A and B are shown apart, each in its own frame.
Chain A
Amino acid sequence: MDIKIAIADDELLFRQGLRAILSKQEDIKILFGASDGKDLIDQLNEASEKPEIIITDLKMPEMDGVEATKIIRETHPDIKVIALTSYFTKPFIVNMIAIGAVAYLAKNSTPALMVKTIREVHAKGFYYDEKVFEYIKDGASKGITNLKADSFNGTSLSKRELEVLELICQQLTTSEIGDKLHISPRTVEVHRNNLQIKTGVKNVAGLVIYAIQHNLVTFDKFY
């Protein structure tokens, strides 16, 4: 099954280069490319076949990637957004993740990392590297990431749910979590859904941020 992708970047040459790299992968299919946020939203609304993952630049004319991501989170909550940018600094990363991006890539990342990020996002719903984790944790302590559902303190999570949450944070897939806890992937999914309902977050990436912000998982276990 192909991973369906759309790309938004105002630099045509960069879009072409990224297309060339990604189209070499047999499991990745690029549906369309957009030149700015507005173009992206327009094409997304018109497309008969919707992408599963959108890779978007942050700084673009007309509408930037931040605004576009906000809109996509509302209109197409199932689509996962990967932020691709030259601003690899804390406030930008933390802000983008708070808005709902599920991964953050520097524009000069290696193709291997780009492909890996896409596959991880497709399989697990998010992909944060060590640095991004650190920023989320730091941002949480300073109150930059103001995600909703802060009233919840995590005590009403069951022991099993906490175990599942911890394994999600270790970036394991649903079936890997099932194997580890000796339960079926379906049961893992039920726990994950319950976690999302209880914490009030929209996706797996939100669960991870939630877990870090509420100190529900120990940080050194990630790596």
Chain B
Amino acid sequence: MESQEQLISILVYGIVFVVLLTTGLMLFFYHSRKKITEKELEKIELKLKNQEEILHATIATQEEERKRIAQDMHDAISSKLNVISLTTNLLLENDEIGTDDKKSLNHILSINNTVLESSRKIAHDLLPPILEKFGLKVALEELLDDYIKVSKLQILHTIENVPDLPDLEELHIFRIVQELINNALKHAKASQLNIELTRKINGFELSFTDNGKGFDPESLNFKTGLGLQNIKSRAAILKCTLEIKSSNNKGSTFRFNTK
């Protein structure tokens, strides 16, 4: 009888041991699995953050390069072209020069002026001097005026002065608007735009509406488009939320808000 009781207690202990062991093992596996996923998530997050940082750095370098080239265009090219124009004009005033030579000189002058205009345009596209000198409000109004003049686009706009914006942030807002107008013209075939920049206590709000073709904001094609990636990155640098509303044939709205 005693040995039977002994056997039962051994069995009970054995079962308890096995149960404890499995629970322990299960807990251990569960825990380490959780740790692994956590680590993996961390890794992915870090990777994303890195990618974002690289993207921001790329944009920053790109803007610096643009600025440098625009500066060089002005200092090394435009100012020398002005000297050519002046010197050619000086030669043209010389009465001893024959008609044929004068014709050539006038030819030089006219080509020179064309190059001067192109150089000015390229520099302007790279970095509008108005933005540097007169700030975001004047630069945006000038940009919109230019579009109104050269295209049939109807643009309603209210641009408020947003004080205390660092130069670089003004540049990002300017580029976002440039990109949005380009998209509205090229892809959405819009004929009417409404652009509003309002100052807020903690920053600004930018809203952009077009009456173009619209799109599905969830579509892969749209999400991976380079233009929108660029806008999103700039919004992230500006610490802005970006809200996009659009549907087919109903136009699109982009709203940026300082967080």
Q: Do A and B form a real pair?
A: yes
Interface set, chain B 57-85, CB cutoff 8 A to A: 74, 78-83, 85
Give the one of B74, B86, B138 with max A CB within 10 A. Answer: B86
Measured as residues with beta carbon below 8 angstroms from the partner, the interface class of chain A is 20 to 34
**Given that A86-B78, A89-B142, A91-B134 are known contacts, is A21 also in contact with B120, CB under 8 Å in the complex?**
no
Q: In the complex, identify which listed stretch (A107-115, A123-131, A183-191) lies at the interface while the others stay far away.
A: A107-115
Q: Does A203 contact B (CB under 8 A)?
A: no
User: Are the C-beta atoms of B138 and A108 separated by less than 8 Å?
Assistant: no
Q: Does A92 contact B (CB under 8 A)?
A: yes
Q: Within the complex, what minimum Cβ distance (angstroms) separates B108 from chain A?
A: 12
User: Are the C-beta atoms of A21 and B129 separated by less than 8 Å?
Assistant: no
User: Are the C-beta atoms of A111 and B133 separated by less than 8 Å?
Assistant: no
Q: Does A29 contact B (CB under 8 A)?
A: no
User: Are the C-beta atoms of B85 and A59 separated by less than 8 Å?
Assistant: no
Interface set, chain A 79-96, CB cutoff 8 A to B: 86-87, 89-92, 95
User: Are the C-beta atoms of B138 and A91 separated by less than 8 Å?
Assistant: yes
- State in angstroms the CA–CA spacing of A150 and B145 once bound together: 26
Q: Within the complex, what minimum Cβ distance (angstroms) separates A89 from chain B?
A: 7
Give the one of B82, B112, B130, B138 with max A CB within 10 A. Answer: B82
User: Are the C-beta atoms of A107 and B93 separated by less than 8 Å?
Assistant: no
User: Are the C-beta atoms of A108 and B83 separated by less than 8 Å?
Assistant: no
- State in angstroms the CA–CA spacing of A20 and B112 once bound together: 20
Q: Does B160 contact A (CB under 8 A)?
A: no
User: Are the C-beta atoms of B138 and A86 separated by less than 8 Å?
Assistant: no
Q: Which of B85, B129, B130 contacts A108 (CB 8 A)?
A: B85
User: Are the C-beta atoms of B130 and A91 separated by less than 8 Å?
Assistant: yes
**Given that A91-B133, A144-B138 are known contacts, is A86 also in contact with B120, CB under 8 Å in the complex?**
yes
Q: Does B90 contact A (CB under 8 A)?
A: yes
- State in angstroms the CA–CA spacing of A24 and B129 once bound together: 35
- State in angstroms the CA–CA spacing of A59 and B79 once bound together: 10
User: Are the C-beta atoms of B89 and A21 separated by less than 8 Å?
Assistant: yes
User: Are the C-beta atoms of A17 and B142 separated by less than 8 Å?
Assistant: no
Which A residues lie within 8 Å of B130 (CB)?
A: 89, 91-92
Interface set, chain A 1-46, CB cutoff 8 A to B: 11, 13-14, 17-18, 20-21, 24
> Please, what's the 1-or-0 string for B173-195, where 1 marks a CB less than 8 Å from any CB in chain A?
00000000000000000000000
Which A residues lie within 8 Å of B81 (CB)?
A: 108
Q: Within the complex, what minimum Cβ distance (angstroms) separates B9 from chain A?
A: 97
Tell me the A residues contacting B by CB distance below 8 Å. 11, 13-14, 17-18, 20-21, 24, 59, 86-87, 89-92, 95, 107-108, 110-111, 142, 144
